[in-house]
Structure 1
């Protein structure tokens, strides 16, 4: 393993986290390197166009070349493709329907799914939609959505089952709980005999871009099972988020 190369990568990470630029002494202390090593590494970065020295502050800062490379990589990442291996694993473990959703206005749009092999199962279809406040993936997305999205949802409240949320105050309480727990639960709010759990997926910027959910009939997924499923979903969505560049 090339130690100089590793030191250069560590140096890049340290500089990326410092919004005000970095000094040689500061970096040497932070990375436990001597000043001459840090200086040589910085000169190499400057030579390759990854860093520059600010003449006014006498501190080193990264150039837009890092952003350019990062943007090219981010553009190649597809939440559906990155999620699919994890969805297959969850489907094998739980034998329930697994689906991947994004938020489109006041609705969720299903962009990928794996059906349960069991004869009685939750039915969704790729390209299908559901009211966001009524399903677990929708609530997982709404918990981190902008206020204008919540206003749109509020204006479309409708009771699809006796358990459907029809008041914005009740929805806000649930969303607060979801942010605290990290996952959402649908207790039969869209289809009375279908329940589920879901957790959010984040991109490199930390923005919630999708939600991964599991759903099934109430006789197989009781409250205890949903809690276990929610914890498992958090593990999987964190792993997917890391693959999308989230840290």
Structure 2
């Protein structure tokens, strides 16, 4: 009997948590009927669970329209989670894993005033390596890290950036048509590659990072001497795309939910 009661308690907890997950950016308020349909439960069961969640401050009901929304305790816990789960803290273990596999420098960039800014770095242990200063900024149109971030912004900005194109090295993309076609490829593939564009000795692959709202906030990148890239580009691209997705998901990004919305 005790074991059965324990199973029922666990099931009730799971159901209560699933009720909280019924809410999203589009559906911030739901009626009991809508929640019941989403959960696939009897209305009496949903009512009982909602009453408990409401009493504990995880759900609140608007008496004017009888719709439910997330309560003050969810907001409180969210603030704690937000403070704890900062981008740097989330990204660091992923960056260290990629660094261990590739032995190359891994950089974390954020979008700041239409520039990419280096927020964090895990440096390569190899004698010949690439490293930049924390806080260093670059234009979004130049190199893999900038273009990875730019790919997540509206396409109008791509065309606005054309007038800023200039040559850092003979490999820098300065032709407007080539630049736009390159951006389309980055958008489609989910990663950007640059070989000797900002520095003719440096190669880089980067993938964008998205937040819970589906907005691009930065990117993670592998950088190193350009001569080590030809034999490793496919591996680097796979690792960086996977790493960027893991970071994004931990920030609350869900491409499937956004697609539905």
TM-score bucket (shorter structure)? 0.7 to 0.9
Separation in 2, partners of 1:115, 1:15? 41
Gaps of 5+ in 1: none
Gaps of 5+ in 2: 1-8, 255-261
Separation in 2, partners of 1:180, 1:39? 45
TM-score (ref. length: structure 2): 0.82
How many residues in Structure 1 have an aligned counterpart in Structure 2? 246
Alignment of 1:57-96 (within 5 A): 57-63=65-71, 66-96=74-104
Change (3 A) 1:17 1:30: farther
Aligned to 1:37: 45
Aligned to 1:131: 139
Aligned-pair RMSD on alpha carbons? 2.6
Aligned to 2:192: 184
Pair 1:227-2:244 in alignment: no
| Residues 50-59 or 164-173, more deviating | 50-59
Alignment of 1:1-247 (within 5 A): 2-16=10-24, 19=27, 21-55=29-63, 57-63=65-71, 66-146=74-154, 150=158, 153-222=161-230, 225-247=232-254
Separation in 2, partners of 1:147, 1:175? 9
Separation in 2, partners of 1:32, 1:246? 25
1:196-230 CA distance string (max 9 Å, x none): 101111222222112110122232111x6223211
